[in-house]
Amino acid sequence: MVKRYNCTSVQVKSFMPSAFILSQGDEVVTGQTVDTNAAWLGDRLTQLGIDVLGHVSVRDVEQEISDAMVEATQRADFVICTGGLGPTDDDMTAHAAAQAFECPLALDEVALEHIRNLYARHGRVMPEVNQKQAWLPMGARRIDNDWGTAPGFALDVNDCLLVCVAGVPREMKVLWTERVLALLDERFHLRPGRLVTLRTTGIGESNLQERIGRFDHPEAVISYRTMSPENQIKLRFVPSASDELVRELSLELAETIGSPVFSIEGLDGELGGSLIEVIGRTLADKGQTLATAESCTGGRVAAECTSVAGSSAWFLEGAVTYSNAAKSRQLGVDPTLIASNGAVSTEVAYAMARGIREASGATYGIATTGIAGPGGGSADKPVGTVHIALATPSDDVHRQLRLGGDRRRIQNLASAAALDLLRRHLTL
């Protein structure tokens, strides 16, 4: 269904509709804003089994937006255009569509009432300038926006469905879910196959591929997605795949990968979630608590823990003991231990983890000490040397890491590794 486009060099499955993503705005093309909408939409469309041909961003110039619309609608079965629906002069999506497809703008009374009501709800009168937003291309279907002033619209042109919605990411995402999906389904009768995501950490993509080996199944394909330090495996099934198959194959794959899998999403009975959500949930369920003692990660482990709503139920406290004096005073680390082994050592990591566990009364204490760089390294202990330790009621665990990259990367990877040490202990 890829149209007017010479694609002889690729296999295009005939059941996949194609899509093009359009965005506009001087702030996007001049790099003042990174266009995250395009990636978000690209991911969602791909998940629906729609073939994304590309995306294009143009300036706030009516003719250029209009040209881009014509080209995109000639190429794809579906075009989604975000932004340019606001009340100001540089918002010209509706005008551009009117020009591109020769459908003059007309005042949509329902849209106008909708905008007026939105203002009234906040006790304000609609400014005159906002009336512009209620002028939609004739023949377009209005897309009501309950989350902002900009109504969107859908047009059938060039044998293509063109949907224009607000570009503010928060609004765009809810409009996608609440409005656009239904339009897509109506048009393309989507029957997307099930998607199961295995989330892993502590293993690189190539090791992961090696562990999985050649994956060849008539009813499923896998793909990898790296978001260091997390690696995801996406298992996409054909629409006809049975629930049993989805379940069996997903769990079998998770077992093949083993302990790096920290959560499974898209499978009944599995809660999914990020590494810290899994840790928080497990601790809360068990009525256990955590305290952290950080040197080289400088507060990142604590910040990650407290990023989760409700973390006060299981996160007691953290110590960021950057100086040796603080390690001794806050955590009770013996100064002679630091003097004889150095602050970056197995011994000090253990002493820090045990120290914060005892001082706080938490079930678990985790600690990090290392050299994040760029300075401070030596032949013995180069930049990237990190010790992490976990103190538990039964036994203590230590791991030494040799990390590459810049300061930020080393701090982030060390942070994730420390949390993963706890996760693996909790789910043993």
In the region spanning residues 44 to 83, those forming contacts with a copy of itself, defined by CB under 8 A, are 44-46, 52-59, 61-64, 67-68
Residues 6+ apart with CB under 8 A from 87: 127, 129, 130, 132, 133, 149
By the 8 A CB rule, do 193 and 242 touch? no
Amino acid at 391: A
Closer CB to a copy of itself, 26 or 185, in the complex: 26
Smallest distance, a copy of itself to C-beta of residue 276, A? 12
Helix, coil or strand: residue 349: helix
**Interacting span for a copy of itself (CB under 8 A) from 183-191, 196-204, 273-281, 292-300:** 292-300
Q: Which of residues 108-147 bind a copy of itself (CB under 8 A)?
A: none
Under rule CB under 8 A, residue 277 binds a copy of itself: no
Residue list 315-334, contact with a copy of itself (CB under 8 A):
315-323, 325-326, 329-330
Supply the minimum distance, in Å, between the C-beta of residue 79 and a copy of itself: 14
d(CA 152, CA 161): 13
> Which secondary structure element, helix H or strand E, spans residue 135, and what is its range?
strand 135-137
How many residues are present in the chain? 428
- Residue ranges of the alpha helices (H) in 87-156? 93-101, 109-121
CB 300 to a copy of itself: min, Å: 5
Rg, Å, the chain Cα set: 27
Answer whether 90's CB lies under 8 Å from 27's CB.
Answer: no
**Total residues in contact with a copy of itself, by rule CB under 8 A:** 81
Q: Write the interaction track for a copy of itself spanning residues 295-314; mark x where CB under 8 A is met and - where it is not.
A: --xxxxxxx-xxx-xxxx--
Residue 195 binds a copy of itself, judged by CB under 8 A: no
Which positions from 389 through 428 interact with a copy of itself, judged by CB under 8 A?
407-408, 411
Contact of 262 with 288, CB cutoff 8 Å = no
User: Within 13 Å and on the Cβ side, how many CA atoms surround 290?
Assistant: 30
Exactly one of 35, 91, 347, 420 binds a copy of itself (CB under 8 A); that residue is: 35
Residue 220 C-beta: closest distance to a copy of itself, Å: 17
Cβ-based nearer residue to a copy of itself, 139 or 299: 299
Within 353-382, the residues that bind a copy of itself by CB under 8 A are: 359-361, 372-376
Residue pair 315/290 in contact (Cβ under 8 Å)? The answer is yes
Shortest distance (Å) from residue 398 CB to a copy of itself: 22
